[in-house]
Amino acid sequence: MISNWINILKKRFRQAKARRQLRMQELLKKTGIGFRTEVLDIKQEGDPLLDYVPCSILANLRIRGKIVCCRVHTLLKGENLLRKGDPVLIRYRPGHLSQVLVNR
């Protein structure tokens, strides 16, 4: 009984976190710094939430004028999953690499 409640709370927490990240990604579409790069590696992190898949992507990012290899976390639409070598447009806020938008 208690484990059922804990599982329900975990699921609601993950859904709320996904909704916050989706709102941030909408903001990044308008205000984020964007550039083109390619996916060096991609890993799915957990179960799909709200038709989105949590992923971590290894890519080269331009931070303060330097190109740095960095792993970022984002939500991707289920049918838009990326593969290694795919070209992408990444939008982010400087200093907040936990908030990233990845588009094809």
Q: Exposure of 37 by Cβ count < 10 A (0-12 exposed, 13-18 middle, 19+ buried)?
A: middle
Place of tokens 């991609």: 42
pLDDT in tens, the chain (104 residues): 788 899 889 888 888 888 888 888 888 888 888 888 889 999 988 777 778 888 888 988 777 778 888 888 888 887 667 889 999 888 887 777 767 888 87
The pLDDT score that the predictor gives to residue 40 is 92
